[in-house]
Amino acid sequence: MVVAGCAYYVLVLVAAWSFRRRRSRRQPRGVLPSFSVLKPLAGAEPGLSGNLESFFQLEYPSFELLFAAREDSDPALALARSLGARHSGKRTRAISVGEPPCANAKVHSLAQMTRIASGDILVVSDSDILAKPTLLRDLASEFQDEGVGVVTCPYRAEPGPSPWSRLEGLGMNTEFWSGVLASQMLAPMDFAVGPTMAVRRSCLESIGGWEAFGAYLAEDFQIGRRAREAGFGVRLSSHVVAHRIGSASFAANFAHRLRWRRSTRRSRPAGYWGELLANPLPWTLVLLPAASWAGWSWWVFGACAALRFAAAVTVGRVVLGDRLVIRRWWLVPIQDMLSLAMWFAGLFGRRIAWRDREYELTQDGRMRRIGCARDGDR
């Protein structure tokens, strides 16, 4: 397992540098597509004002901003309207959508916003995303190929001050994105990543619209998979956004990680088992005493650790622009141990907590509401 994991890290290094080389920004040519940016909202959160403000600063000739929350009294919706009034030259609209008829409230909000959207391409972006002004122009270049239906943006997790948030951010930036880069190099992408993704309207309509995904927790994964099955291209964008994951207590962070793990196990079970080989550093700590601390086992441990840190720095710093991996390099093995523990925890149970509700996951990744969550996980 350790040797297979070391080979995986070599693959990650090759994939990361290959992605880096093709990240040269192309200017879109010809008639530019129009964009509708869809922002589902749910309550005030730290940094929300700056996150939303960054989307009013986008540099693109033709786009609109649409915001949606469950209730009209939602403070996030009031903030969006205030920003819209301040930037009166931008086309904006903020709506309340009521209680969702489906399990996934985000999908319900997206469906309601899409009904009033006018853009050729729909950009779905969560409320905790901080955008750069070139986002839409970079996406326009990705959609120059008419066969492309979905483009997903890599994100750099920016944690809050809590140690659990820092560990989670380190895992996202060095572990999760290592897997994405390796998989998209080996085979055409057949999934999307939800915090910021763009879908061509014609592609969305051909795969059933938002209504086809209202029962799924990982609607982003399902959209990418069905788009690929329908013959559309799915691409990883060259544009990296900032994903502000905030700060959370141990209990809330544990519940969030457990939800992610259980969702992944249901969405792509083969990939879930493959993660055992993609996290070999903890297994070296088993190898050393199993080999009676033999000299060769220390060489294997050293090689594995060196490859892990090389892959972490290359993906986290070079590809995503994350500085945490340099300053907090000593947290990498701790995060790997925690990740392995969460992997085992994700093997059991079907219940997840999402915002203030509790759901049960079915075998194919759908979810069924069963009550109110006790831990307040978002």
The 8 Å CB, 24+ separation contacts for 322-331 are 322/156, 322/157, 322/169, 322/173, 324/159, 324/166, 324/169, 324/170, 324/173, 325/170, 325/173, 325/174, 328/166, 328/170, 331/166, 331/167, 331/170
**Distance (Å, rounded) from C-alpha 333 to C-alpha 271?**
22
Q: Are 107 and 213 in contact (CB under 8 A)?
A: yes
Task: Give the whole-number percent of the chain exceeding pLDDT 90.
Answer: 67
Tell whether the model's pLDDT for residue 91 goes beyond 80: yes
What's the CA angle centered on 36, arms 35 and 40, to 5 degrees?
145
Residue pLDDT, tens place only, 2-30: 999 999 999 999 999 999 887 655 666 67
Residue 358, pLDDT score: 81
What's residue 24's pLDDT? 54
pLDDT at 361: 83
Q: Please give the single-letter amino acid code of residue 307.
A: L
What is the predicted pLDDT for the residue at 375? 40
Q: How many CB atoms lie within 10 A of CB 81?
A: 14
Cα 48–Cα 49–Cα 55 angle in degrees, nearest 5: 95
Query: The sheet that has 155-159: what strands, in order across it?
Result: 129-130, 241-246, 155-159
